Amino acid sequence: MSETTDATGTPQEVGDAKSGPYAAHVSLRWSDMDAYAHINNVQFLRLLEDARVIAFRDWFDGGGAGDKSLLDEGVLVSRHEIEYRRPLGFRHAPVEVQMWVSRVGGAGFDVAYIVTDPDGVGADLGGADRPVYAVAETELALYDFASASPRRMRPEERASLRAHVGEPAPFRRRRR
């Protein structure tokens, strides 16, 4: 694990996820399709949210593992970045959303995602690689609803997140 600083000088942790990416299987809905017969770009954000809910339940509320205060006090989305790699058509099989924490800051953290197929479903003929439909990253801010204001991360929350830290999302091109 290494540490860098952001533009404000706040420490940012990046490194290798201890157990690799978390994989959440998320079902598609018929209503996710648009007029072009593929999953609408806006619906990808719902897929990411569904995967995040599944992961956070396991990461922070799974049988006493981790620190549940992150979920109890509030986490708000402050930014999304998504890169669409290929069209995703409707099917009954779920997609796999691989995810990990890509940055831990003083008052928030980022989650990176790769939307793909479980077990190689939909891979190109002759190819062993799974198709990647999207790569994304969500910036989350810790929030105290009681005071209606952002809050700093506590050491126990930082420790819970560290178990899931990996590299930044593998975008083809990063905006700066």
Q: 154-172, pLDDT tens digit by residue?
A: 888 888 899 999 999 999 9
Residue 104 forms part of a structural domain: yes
Indicate which CATH number applies to the domain containing 149: 3.10.129.10
In the predicted model, is pLDDT for residue 126 greater than 50? no
d(CA 24, CA 48): 10
Residue 84 forms part of a structural domain: yes
Q: How many domains, in total, are found in the chain?
A: 1
d(CA 43, CA 34): 10
Which residue stretches of 74-148 are H helix?
A: none
The pLDDT score that the predictor gives to residue 57 is: 87
d(CA 13, CA 158): 10
Contacts of 8 (CB under 8 A, 6+ apart): none
Residue 34 tokens read as 């648009």
Helix (H, G, I), strand (E, B) or coil at 96: strand
Residue 171 forms part of a structural domain: no
Residue 93 forms part of a structural domain: yes
Residue 170 forms part of a structural domain: no
Give the structural domain span for 123: 2-162
CB neighbours of residue 85 within 10 Å: 14
Residue 169 forms part of a structural domain: no
Residue 118 forms part of a structural domain: yes
Q: 83-118, pLDDT tens digit by residue?
A: 999 999 988 899 999 999 999 999 999 999 999 998
Backbone angles phi, psi at 135, to 5 degrees: -125, 135
Q: Which residues partner with 150 through β-bridges?
A: 143
Residue 42 tokens read as 């806006």
Q: 11-24, pLDDT tens digit by residue?
A: 344 444 556 899 99
Contacts of 159 (CB under 8 A, 6+ apart): 67
Residue 176 forms part of a structural domain: no
